[in-house]
Chain A
């Protein structure tokens, strides 16, 4: 890293990038202390409550939580960059909704025969923010819960499914790499085919050729892989066991219980808030704001966790 940065100006950009991802990685690493099941439950509950509680205040809170967690886990720069396309998406959904559902009572203006109502606009905005909040939360969860960890969870419950996932994860980069090799080998042989710009038809034929070579090659490889599996006793025992790297311990259980208590309170309150609320015909039934406190607390849990882990580290 250091050498390339010194030799080229583009290296400087790299260093910046890695500095940012380092900031996120520090927080991410704090979740490695937990068993993946705890993380999985946390993100599932957050997504479910955030998506199902369709009320302007809760949705705004959900969006704010997703942004803050994104900044914690992935770094502010990355979240801001993705907002560049996410906010316009919210605007589009907000504007399009009134055009399709002409409900509400507060008429803002008319386009031809169709009236545009404020309630409908608010509904659309809510929908947009809920969607974007969900996307950001997914990205955050993916960073904390790497594919590797999810597969470990499967490995414990259904070893064969875990193995299949693992084999797929190996196959995809392998196919991409082989595809590149074939493509470059074919392109490099200019003595065989005069070098000129290809028409669309020829390009398509080349792409087809590439995929057929790739298919043949990977089928051949898969025979070897199958032999390697048989040689190492695939199907020898009735039931496969699984190598489990992380164990579920009492500490994990305690964190999980605490998490579930907050989750239950948050879900209950949000349900109450949503039940009382209605968009149409007029926006009504707004409950006191403190009803949202449990959900806010739930969203703040990762911050508390990271702060806790870091304090403990520094104390040593």
Chain B
């Protein structure tokens, strides 16, 4: 306790008991909820967190962020071999009693729903205090204090299942803080939240750190939003942590223009992310220098890639979906949709954006004919060949292995084994075929669910938040898969909060507001005309632009290739598919390194990638 350090790791190593062997199907060996089998272990790690600091811990999927965080909390520490020292508040972790550990170290997990224990808000807040046996009077005071701090009072008596995702996550934070921990560990706390809820949550976290002086460590794969609040950035790669102080965070008061232009804030944040990694970055540098109009141009470039394709398909086709004056509500509650009109052209990629509870999901369900509108008409010409990706991919998983999952609809939908193999390769799951779907990481689950739907060759693809909780490389892969499907003529209607994703994948954007269609515009027009709805320059934007740039560089070489291979389309297709698969696999593996190794990637992609480019040139 006398120590200045809240968290101290000296040559700390951790490894799981035995390396998992996927090939013989022993994948049901569990290491604990949330812990996936890809992480072999972490260490040796040297990492110090002083009192009152705010560390953001980044790292790719499977780099061991969760393992590291959980190792710092005795009651949920993973089972395995450890060496070196791990001191929390100056004490070795083994010497902390269960009671002390619960009270001194707070831990907030990712899922807002399943980490709720009780049925009502006040019970949930008191739960931890009841566990450690706090006297009722003290308990009242602590609950009152924390509820007041987070503004929970208006919904203090509500039932937990009536709360929004953002409220639940704030409740999870509040009920952990009621125990008055000195160190707060959070494992991807905002990945399931929409951007606005994310901001609210991060702001609460920021106040906890600065006003209460609590030490905060957050693990995340999208650090952009958190960097303005952080004091330190810790990057975990190859089992090692490298820490860097964040310059110009809000605390140092050097971001006066923060409120005016989210673009610049995000760009600054983005450059801060990549800064500790390497030296030169062409893409990041351009963004850092760019003013607003430059940024807009960059987006326009991203958008045009598809608009070309789409305009081709769209010009020849009619409406796939027509909604006229649709009114919809659930169980006699308020109306979610109030007189909504929408037209979706066949062959287009149409994105629905809008705030929480504006009716995006309801609209998708209405279009899919899962629910019937109270008034109005919904025509869906492609209803017989549609596929819906729900918000939680688990709703689609029925089988015990990845392979069985992809085979489930093989007979009824009629696709070949070869198609399955190709799909597995393109989502980078070939080596995980015998794993249980639940043992995959969140991103892989999403990819598997999408792959399962794509195999059935749907003419209409309905996607509900396809990028929720994904890291940038996985988002890029999802975008690639969807774009590929769209190029082969399918209509895509997707609901998303992710503006960066929508700007890059959609041809047309509809803004839902107050249960109505506030506007429908081509993506480029839509984003050039907005004050608040601007796509941030995030990791996905950089990966996407890097790829687009790489494709552009490769265009010269590509021209020859197309000329040579023009006579044999089938052969070209095969090469293309393999190339695309290789490209995708590479995206998964390379992930975070892609942006910094921009030049190198250009060469690699020019050799094996460029599938998108070539398709574009086909008549």
Which A residues lie at the B interface, using CB under 8 A?
Answer: 1, 3-4, 7-8, 10, 14, 148, 159, 163, 166-167, 169-170, 173-174, 177-178, 181-182, 184-195, 209, 212-213, 216-217, 220-245
- Are A242 and B398 closer than 8 Å at their CB atoms? no
Q: Considering the complex, which residues of chain B in the window 114-145 have a beta carbon less than 8 Å from any beta carbon of chain A?
A: 114-120, 122-123, 126-136, 139-140, 143
* Complex Cα gap A212–B396 (Å): 12
* Complex Cα gap A236–B33 (Å): 20
Minimum CB–CB distance for B382 against chain A, Å: 9
* Complex Cα gap A243–B459 (Å): 55
* Complex Cα gap A228–B107 (Å): 8
- Are A241 and B335 closer than 8 Å at their CB atoms? no
Closest-by-CB residue of B relative to A240 is: B130
> Please, how many residues of chain B have a CB less than 8 angstroms from a CB on the other chain?
84
* Complex Cα gap A41–B609 (Å): 76
Contacts of B118 in A (CB 8 A): 163, 166-167, 170
B109: contacting residue among A3, A216, A227, CB under 8 A: A227
- Are A224 and B111 closer than 8 Å at their CB atoms? yes
* Complex Cα gap A216–B139 (Å): 36
- Is B558 close to A, CB under 8 A? no
Contacts of A239 in B (CB 8 A): 133
Closest-by-CB residue of B relative to A159 is: B130
B175: contacting residue among A181, A225, A232, CB under 8 A: A232
- Is B383 close to A, CB under 8 A? yes
- Is B531 close to A, CB under 8 A? no
Closest-by-CB residue of B relative to A173 is: B161
- Is B385 close to A, CB under 8 A? yes
Minimum CB–CB distance for B565 against chain A, Å: 31
Closest-by-CB residue of A relative to B371 is: A184
- Are B117 and A228 closer than 8 Å at their CB atoms? yes
- Are A232 and B398 closer than 8 Å at their CB atoms? no
- Are A233 and B136 closer than 8 Å at their CB atoms? no
Q: Considering the complex, which residues of chain B in the window 327-346 have a beta carbon less than 8 Å from any beta carbon of chain A?
A: 327, 329, 332, 334-335, 338
- Are A243 and B98 closer than 8 Å at their CB atoms? no
Minimum CB–CB distance for B452 against chain A, Å: 8
Contacts of A213 in B (CB 8 A): 394-395, 397-398
Contacts of B332 in A (CB 8 A): 14
Using known A-B contacts A14-B332, A232-B131, determine if residue A224 contacts B109 with beta carbons closer than 8 Å.
yes
- Are A191 and B459 closer than 8 Å at their CB atoms? yes
- Is B502 close to A, CB under 8 A? no
Using known A-B contacts A8-B327, A166-B120, determine if residue A209 contacts B413 with beta carbons closer than 8 Å.
no
Contacts of B262 in A (CB 8 A): none
- Is B521 close to A, CB under 8 A? no
> What is the count of residue pairs linking A and B with beta-carbon distances less than 8 angstroms?
221
- Is B160 close to A, CB under 8 A? yes
- Are A4 and B33 closer than 8 Å at their CB atoms? no
- Are B133 and A238 closer than 8 Å at their CB atoms? yes
Which applies to chain A's interface (DSSP): helix, strand, loop or mixed? helix
Q: Considering the complex, which residues of chain B in the window 94-112 have a beta carbon less than 8 Å from any beta carbon of chain A?
A: 98-99, 101-103, 106-107, 109, 111
- Is B561 close to A, CB under 8 A? no
B75: contacting residue among A7, A231, A238, CB under 8 A: A231
Using known A-B contacts A195-B384, A239-B133, A241-B133, determine if residue A233 contacts B122 with beta carbons closer than 8 Å.
no
- Is B355 close to A, CB under 8 A? no
- Are B34 and A227 closer than 8 Å at their CB atoms? yes
* Complex Cα gap A184–B335 (Å): 20
Contacts of A190 in B (CB 8 A): 383-387
- Are A7 and B335 closer than 8 Å at their CB atoms? yes
* Complex Cα gap A236–B117 (Å): 16
Contacts of B370 in A (CB 8 A): 184, 187-188
Contacts of A7 in B (CB 8 A): 327, 335, 338
Closest-by-CB residue of A relative to B100 is: A236
- Is B390 close to A, CB under 8 A? yes
Contacts of B130 in A (CB 8 A): 159, 163, 240-243
Minimum CB–CB distance for A23 against chain B, Å: 19
Q: List 18 A-B contacts (CB under 8 A).
A: A3-B335, A4-B334, A14-B332, A170-B161, A189-B388, A191-B387, A191-B413, A191-B460, A225-B114, A227-B115, A231-B107, A232-B176, A233-B103, A240-B131, A240-B133, A241-B134, A243-B122, A245-B122
- Are A184 and B365 closer than 8 Å at their CB atoms? yes
Minimum CB–CB distance for A90 against chain B, Å: 32
Minimum CB–CB distance for A198 against chain B, Å: 12
- Residues 391-422 of B, flagged 1 when their CB comes within 8 A of A and 0 if not, give 01011111000000000110011000000000
A235: contacting residue among B131, B369, B460, CB under 8 A: B131
* Complex Cα gap A281–B426 (Å): 88
* Complex Cα gap A301–B453 (Å): 63
Minimum CB–CB distance for A104 against chain B, Å: 51
B179: contacting residue among A163, A227, A228, A233, CB under 8 A: A233
Minimum CB–CB distance for B247 against chain A, Å: 33
Minimum CB–CB distance for B566 against chain A, Å: 32
- Are B412 and A192 closer than 8 Å at their CB atoms? yes
Contacts of B106 in A (CB 8 A): 231
* Complex Cα gap A182–B34 (Å): 22
- Is B586 close to A, CB under 8 A? no
B334: contacting residue among A3, A163, A193, A217, CB under 8 A: A3
- Are B335 and A188 closer than 8 Å at their CB atoms? no
- Are B374 and A221 closer than 8 Å at their CB atoms? no
Closest-by-CB residue of A relative to B162 is: A173
Contacts of A222 in B (CB 8 A): 114
Using known A-B contacts A190-B385, A217-B394, determine if residue A225 contacts B453 with beta carbons closer than 8 Å.
no
Contacts of A212 in B (CB 8 A): 398
- Is B368 close to A, CB under 8 A? yes
Question: Which 4 interchain pairs have the tightest Cβ spacing?
Answer: A233-B102, A237-B133, A223-B33, A243-B126
Contacts of B371 in A (CB 8 A): 184
Minimum CB–CB distance for B468 against chain A, Å: 14
- Is B73 close to A, CB under 8 A? yes
Minimum CB–CB distance for A175 against chain B, Å: 11
Contacts of A174 in B (CB 8 A): 113, 161
Minimum CB–CB distance for B496 against chain A, Å: 18
- Are A166 and B33 closer than 8 Å at their CB atoms? no
- Is B375 close to A, CB under 8 A? yes
Minimum CB–CB distance for B82 against chain A, Å: 19
Closest-by-CB residue of B relative to A188 is: B388
- Are A209 and B386 closer than 8 Å at their CB atoms? no
- Are A243 and B386 closer than 8 Å at their CB atoms? no
Contacts of B396 in A (CB 8 A): 185-186, 189
- Is B553 close to A, CB under 8 A? no
* Complex Cα gap A236–B75 (Å): 10
- Is B607 close to A, CB under 8 A? no
Closest-by-CB residue of B relative to A171 is: B119
* Complex Cα gap A185–B450 (Å): 13
* Complex Cα gap A163–B327 (Å): 41
Contacts of A167 in B (CB 8 A): 117-119
- Are A216 and B438 closer than 8 Å at their CB atoms? yes
* Complex Cα gap A224–B123 (Å): 18
Closest-by-CB residue of A relative to B120 is: A148
Using known A-B contacts A221-B113, A224-B111, determine if residue A191 contacts B456 with beta carbons closer than 8 Å.
yes
Closest-by-CB residue of B relative to A244 is: B136
Minimum CB–CB distance for A5 against chain B, Å: 11
- Is B305 close to A, CB under 8 A? no
